[in-house]
Chain A
Amino acid sequence: MHKIADVEIQHDIMVANRKLARKNQRIMDQNGVFAVDVLGAIGSGKTSLIETLIDHLDHKVGVIAGDVISKYDAGRFESHHVPVVGLNTGKECHLDAHLVKHALEDLPLENIDLLFIENVGNLICPVDFDLGSHLRMVVISVSEGDDTVEKHPLIFQDADLVVINKLDIADAVGASVEKMVNDVQKINPDVEVITSSLKTGKGLDEILAAIESYMK
């Protein structure tokens, strides 16, 4: 004879990721590592910004370079003589806490005090996946259009620091930087917004100072 049974599962996949993220953070805390999750659109300048920060910050930096395919970004970071782990997600549009956990196992954490985790270029999917970082920095640029913030509000709601990059070409692409800044502040009144141009160096000192202040 057969019977019908109801089985309670209550397994939240998001919660499972968050638990793993907290574990990642504990591992990093134990090793004195401060982690910055660098999120943002494709081509907004995430890799270039991290490269610039590596050269300007007086810290032992490490990088987890997330990409769907290719080790191109990882190679760029390696040329700055810092420990790098390239993470290819294969088909996924975001990093998750599980992937980062494995990357942490491959990094010499005892020789790192500041870890940049470059997420996959995407303003939507990474929102759902906490990695265990201490700071969430969102990097967008004027070339994505000045309506990009209002179209992707959730990533800005979770951000601690927002960089609006490529100011030098704002006029050429017809983007209102003021609108972008206002839109971020509408969504997240507490977040620090820095406008920058990695070409001219504008905003770099503010980004460096912001990261230093979070690390204290």
Chain B
Amino acid sequence: MHELSMAQAIVDTVLDAAQKNEAQDILEVTIEIGQLTMLNPEQLKFLLDVLIEGTLLENSEILIEEIPVEIECRSCGFKGEANTDGSDHYLTIVICPECGERKVEVTKGRECNVKNIRIEKVDEDA
């Protein structure tokens, strides 16, 4: 369970960016989580809600977007989305959906990316 440290890193990243951009409030945060990370988005969301109390993030909307797993097959050259169907969720990922070989490279799906924030700031032009 490393959602807590990741949640803390996300909060730190967002607050740092908000400060640099002189935000008075943070309205929205978008985070991308790869399906292949060992992070459970629901647990992450719960911990974020705890950590943002008393910060600029307190009333912001936190959006978590899941990034599907993409692979590149070293046997047939297939590039694209991995097969994540079925209960053996992870096992099917390592099988190329095109040729059935197992020599695949995971190219996407391991992200924990703070994508962007929507902030409110003083309009100096107004």
Contact = CB atoms under 8 A, between A and B. Distances in A.
A93 B1 contact: yes
Nearest to B102: A189
Given A13-B6, A150-B88, 6 more contacts: A3-B123, A5-B118, A9-B13, A11-B13, A153-B94, A187-B91
Contacts of A125: 1-2, 38
Contact of A128 (B10, B94, B110, B120): B110
Interchain residue pairs A-B with the least CB separation, the first 5: A1-B126, A3-B123, A12-B113, A1-B123, A13-B112
Contacts of A10: 113-116
24 contacts: A2-B121, A2-B122, A3-B122, A4-B27, A7-B23, A7-B116, A7-B118, A8-B115, A9-B13, A9-B14, A9-B17, A9-B116, A9-B117, A10-B114, A13-B9, A13-B114, A15-B113, A127-B38, A128-B110, A154-B38, A187-B91, A187-B94, A188-B102, A189-B102
A11 B17 CA distance: 10
Interface residues of A, number: 32
Interface in B16-40: 17-18, 21, 23-24, 27, 34, 36-39
Summarize A's interface: helix, strand, loop or mixed.
Answer: mixed
Contacts of A2: 24, 120-123
A7 B1 CA distance: 30
Contact of A12 (B14, B112, B116): B112
A124 B103 CA distance: 22
A69 to B, nearest CB: 15
Contacts of B91: 150, 153, 186-187
Interface string A112-141: 000000000000110110000000000000
Contacts of B106: 157
A3 B38 contact: no
Contacts of A128: 2, 37-39, 110, 112
A94 interface: yes
Contacts of B52: none
